Structure 1
Amino acid sequence: MADSKREIERKYEATDATRLPDLGRVAGVGSVAHEGVMELDAVYYDTEDLRLAAGNVTLRRRTGGSDAGWHLKLPVADGVRDEIRAPLSGHVPARLTALIRSRVLDAPVVPVVRLVSARDVHVLLDDDGAPLAELSVDEVRAERLPGGDRTAAWTEIEAELADDGDPAFLDTVGRTLEEAGIRPATAPSKLARALAETGSAPARPREDEPRTAGDHVLGYVRRQAEAIVALDPAVRRGLPDSVHRMRVATRRLRSALRTYRRVLDREATRPLGTELKWLAGELGVDRDQEVLDARLRARLDALPRPLVIGPVRARLRLWSAAGRSGSRRRTTAVLDSARYLDLLRALEALLAAPPLLPGATAAPGDELARAVRKDHRRLAGRVAHALEQAPGPERDAALHSARKAAKRARYAAEAARPALGKPAKKAAKRLKAVQSLLGDHQDGVVARGTLRALAVQAHAAGEPSFTWGLVYGREEAVAAATERELPGVWHRAHKARIRRARGH
């Protein structure tokens, strides 16, 4: 069984002449417990081309210390990582293998570095004896594998926050260390330093200043592709909002391929777009269930207690549990599928050899603005068509179509923002308002269908269906209010559109 913890730490350089200051003088520290020196022996695993290290991910098998076993560290933010642990075994545990699959694909992971450390541990305690942080002085010897003929050695100081501690305390510790002449480490991790000092470090994409339309579009595409890969383990772990964020990255990427067809050859990217649509749809099964569940619970919570008649909450819980259980299993199966891995390979291939068209060499201010205006015109036509329809199913369908167009136009403006500046930022903000309004309307359409189904189930079970009908009516009222609000929201978005420059 694997478990996990949030690791928040700071690293500092040390030399043979480095002396720790009196840690008892750190503000907030009541006492310091010196736990002595422990010997740690860790072998780090990666692909031959160091795909994990390139993504700031580490996988190791460590003996010694209180947490011997397999450790997978996934980046969260600067100085913050999630560490997933599994018991010692002779091979990489299946749980950890799944969490790195989006990065390594089918490439084998092999030993790349061995780190042997002598760790001198000091625990900083508050006045009540509760741990605040652990500060260690590590004497490290690194060996590049296989062979071990390339080595490096150094000493570093590591300050790790105690569980549920205040990250600001590490700032206090850091100030005390720096006053003693101890400087922050330049390498983000022991592995990164070991790779750099014993051979080649992982190859990273060059971050040149974008000059052309192609540079901007490819930069945006790369960021969305990297987001999909990085969010894969979070989705597998069931972390909050991870499915939603991965789905958004998938949709942004697909929209970019469709919008910027004068930059990237649409005939070449069309199959990839089809697969991205499939992935977004599969992720939507879980996300849509989550959104609908929250919406129905909120509607019931808003009702006066006398109007909640019958076991409505129990029925909603049963419906929700059944739906979420099935959707979670389905999402995990999708991420384990050959089709998904083929999609990730296709994204790699696209970025390695992008099918650029002549528009890629154009000035970004011209080419990107042209594409944004085109998506805005498409949205304008769909909004006008929707507002022409009488209230009912046909208008609902037309508004849903307009919502999709609003999302695509918003993503187009977001992608163009680095090149177009404030006009694109303003357009994206106003288009997001249109998308959100239409999204709430569509959520209401779906909710009404579910409410009707729940009412039918309740009636068949001999339960009162009054409350379900009442909530259905309130959803109808909300939808009508949304439709009345749309013209004003759309007018503001239309005024913020990217305009053609004079002389063009």
Structure 2
Amino acid sequence: MADTKREIERKYESDDSGLPDLTGVGAVAAVLDKGLMELDATYYDTADERLAGACLTLRRRTGGSDAGWHLKFPVAPGVRDEIRAPLSDTVPEEIAALVRSRVRDAELVPLVRLRSARDVRHLVDADGTLLAEASIDAVTAERLTGRGGAAQWTEIEVELADDGDPAFLDLVEKRLRRAGVRPSKSSSKLARALAQTSGHRREKVRPAPPVTAGDHVLAYLRAQRDVLVELDPAVRRDVPDSVHRMRVATRRARSTLRSFRSVLDRTVTDPVGAELKWLAGELGVDRDHEVMTERLTAALDALPPDLVTGPVPERLATWAEARRGGAHAHLTGVLDSRRYLTLLDTLDALLADPPLRKAAGNQPEKVLAQAVRKDLATLSALIEQALGAPPGAERDTAVHEARKKGKRTRYAAEAATAALGKPARSLTRGMKSLTTLLGDHQDSVMTRLTLRELSAVAHAAGENTFTYGVLYGREEARAAQAEAELPGLWKEITSGAAV
């Protein structure tokens, strides 16, 4: 079974002078010699180095205290999340799944072998508590593909102890710099090995700045594709808010295809949009349940104790856990499906060979502004329809339709921001305020449906259902408040819209 460790470390160039004395740095009372470790790690990647290109490392390592499979995700400079699995001959499935959005049908093959003689020191305080581990690594790198180049170097690595204060590493670095030690130019051993054993320097290709209308649309669409791929492992690991962010990226991508049909040929993009709609729906199974649980829990916590009758908290917790586990298992299956992986391949192909129409080559200001204004006009009609509908199911449906169109208008404005500047940014902010208000209204509608279901189950079990009725009434009031605020907010947005 895989587990996760947050790794905070810094790497430095090393010469024959070794590790400077770090006693007295911060709370360091002693530097303990922990001896020499022999580490042997084989790094895996696709033949075209997709994981390395995304700054991911996957290795099988023996030696030391943590032998096994390690998959590292970058979090911030010097910070990575390391997923660990027990030692085995092949890549464990739980590890392989976390890189599937990048690897897909390609094979993971041994790419580089690193053998390190690690001289370890523990930096401890006066109580003997570990503050950090400092080591001098003598590394031998061997390329296992192509012509099989080799390289050797020595580096110093300082890794913060679990739950340590990252500011401590600043103090260590200050001491190291005073001793003439400089930070490593490579972010990881693998990056250095790839550079030194391949015979050429790996250059990161930066996309050219967008010029035409097509450039701007494709840049926004490419960013959403990248978010989907990057968030896939976070969703599998159940990282908080990852499902929501992935769902938003899916909707942004679909909205881009729909809003900018003057730029991209819809005969090609409509089928892609349909698949993005499917994926957003699947992501919604988990996300909607998450939102509902948070909303009901907060509402229940806000009630005075004398208004909570019967085992309402227990029933809510049981409902949340039962639905939650099933939803996440289903979503993991979706991410493993051929349909999902094909969608990622299709997005890659679309971006590599986009179905551009004639307007794509024009100046972006006119083309993008026209598309945004078209979305805004449709939204205006839906808002008027919602405001004119009688309270109840008809208005709820109209408000929900306006909310969906509001999101599409917001995403179109986002995509046009680099070209249109301040007007697009202003409209984006207005659409965010609008969709937040209408989203709260829709959440109220769905919460009331859930409360009716929970109340019916509780009634059948002979429980007091008074509290469900109180919560239902409060949700009705929240929806009414949103409806009352809508006309004023919409007037404010339209008076300032100048795209």
Taking structure 2 as the reference length, what is the TM-score of the superposition? 0.96
In structure 1, the partner of 2:213 is 213
Deviation for aligned residue 1:444? 0.2
What is the aligned partner in structure 1 of residue 120 from structure 2?
Answer: 121
2:140 aligned residue: 141
Q: Does 1:255 align with 2:263?
A: no
In structure 2, C-alpha distance between the alignment counterparts of 1:124 and 1:242, rounded to whole Å: 36
- In 1, are the aligned partners of 2:40 and 2:62 still within 8 Å (CA)? yes
Q: Deviations over 1:266-312 (max 9, x none)?
A: 22111111111101100100110010011111111111111111111
- Counterpart-to-counterpart distance in 2, 1:400 and 1:338: 32
Equivalent residues of 2:19, 2:156 under 8 A apart: no
- Residue 63 of structure 2 is matched in structure 1 by 64
Work out the CA distance in 2 between the residues paired with 1:403 and 1:306.
Answer: 37
Partner of 1:502: none
Q: Distance in 2 between matches of 1:62 and 1:406?
A: 51
Equivalent residue letter for 2:459? H
State the distance in 1 between where 2:360 and 2:173 align. 47
What are the superposed Cα offsets for residues 472-492 of structure 1, whole Å, 9 maximum, x if unpaired? Answer: 111111110110011122222
Deviations 1:333-380 (A, max 9, x none): 111111111111111111221212222222223322222222222211
Query: Which runs of structure 2 are paired with 1:50-199 in the superposition (5 Å)?
Result: 50-146=49-145, 149-199=148-198
Q: What does the per-residue CA deviation read over 1:22-73, in whole Å, with 9 as the maximum and x for residues that have no partner?
A: 2113223222122122111110000101111111111101111111111111
Please, what is the CA RMSD of the aligned residues? 1.6
Secondary structure of the 2:5 match is: strand
Which residue is equivalent to 2:14? 14
Deviation at 1:147, TM superposition (A): 7.0
C-alpha spacing 1:184/1:423, structure 2 compared with 1 (3 Å)? farther
How far has the Cα of 1:203 moved from its partner?
7.3
In structure 2, distance between residues paired with 1:348 and 1:115: 33
The 3 A distance-change label for structure 1 pair 82 and 494 is same
Map 1:312-351; keep pairs closer than 5 Å: 312-351=312-351
Contact 2:58 2:72 in 1 (8 A): yes
The alignment of Structure 1 onto Structure 2 pairs a total of residues equal to 498
Looking at structure 1, the residues matched to 280 and 306 of structure 2 have their Cα atoms a distance apart, in angstroms, of 41
Please say which of residues 314-323 and 237-246 is displaced more in the overlay.
314-323
Corresponding residue of 1:44? 43
Which has the larger displacement, 69-78 or 90-99? 69-78
What letter corresponds to residue 157 of structure 1 in structure 2?
I
**Paired residues for 1:387-398 under 5 Å:** 387-398=387-398
d(CA) in 1 for partners of 2:214 and 2:456? 54
| Cα deviation code 1:104-159 (max 9, x no counterpart) | 00111000101111112222222322112112221111111137731111122222
Partner deviation per Cα, 1:205-230 (whole Å, 9 max, x = no partner) = 43222222222222211111111111
Shift in alpha-carbon separation, 1:186–1:422, aligned structure 2, 3 A: farther
Identical-pair percentage = 61
User: 2:299 maps to what in 1?
Assistant: 299
Once residues 420 and 159 of structure 1 are traced to their aligned partners in structure 2, the CA distance between those partners, rounded to angstroms, is 47
Q: Which segment is superposed worse, 194-203 or 139-148?
A: 194-203
Q: Secondary structure at the match of 1:438?
A: helix
Flag structure 2 segments of 5+ consecutive residues without an equivalent.
Answer: none
Partners in 1 of 2:421 and 2:30 — Cα distance?
53
Moved more, 109-118 or 370-379: 370-379
Tell me the secondary structure at the aligned position of residue 99 of structure 2.
helix
Runs (5+) with no aligned partner, structure 1: 500-504
Distance in 2 (alpha carbons) for counterparts of 1:173 and 1:364? 51
State the Cα deviation string for residues 409-434 of structure 1 (Å, max 9, x = none): 11112222222223222221111010
Q: Are the equivalent residues in 2 in contact too, given 1:192–1:201 (CA < 8 A)?
A: no
Q: Deviations over 1:203-256 (max 9, x none)?
A: 754322222222222221111111111111111111111111111111111111
Instruction: Answer with 204-213 or 380-389: which moved more.
Output: 204-213
Instruction: Flag the 1:164–1:487 CA change in 2: closer, same or farther, 3 A.
Output: same
1:434 aligned residue: 434
Residues 201 and 258 of structure 1: CA distance in aligned 2, closer, same or farther (over 3 Å): farther
CA contact (8 A) 1:53 1:202 kept: no
Q: Are residue 489 (structure 1) and residue 489 (structure 2) matched?
A: yes
CA distance in 2, matches of 1:379, 1:95: 44
- Whether 2:466 is the aligned partner of 1:466: answer yes
Give the distance between the partners of 1:496 and 1:7, measured in 2 at CA.
Answer: 47
